[in-house]
Amino acid sequence: MRIFSSDSPLIKALNFIADLVMLNLCFIICCIPFFTVGASVTALYTVTLAIAERREGNVVPQFFSCIPVQFSTSNHCMAFIDNGSLSADIQHLHYTGH
């Protein structure tokens, strides 16, 4: 087996690392507008799960195809979480006086 063949463990590991880097770059770029954070987290989770299950495919198109599918659901969940943390902050400010 050659070290630079497409079936070698070195190339497979480098492809895996490159997929994760590209996935994280897509996530960071999509989190710049704050209202897309929920959809970006959902897409990141979905594609990472696909990588863990060893489903083949290009991660960038998979990531961007997951965002519109889960956009409304994930944003409702993020709004619920944000409201809960805001409520906790207000209660903390009320009780501590800071």
- Block means of pLDDT (10 residues each) for the chain, length 98 residues? 79 90 93 79 89 86 85 63 55 61
Q: Which of 84, 19, 68, 36 is nearest to 92 (CA)?
A: 84
Q: Where are the alpha helices (DSSP H) in the chain?
A: 9-30, 37-52, 59-96
What does the pLDDT read at residue 89? 53
Q: Are 67 and 29 in contact (CB under 8 A)?
A: no
User: pTM for the full model?
Assistant: 0.67
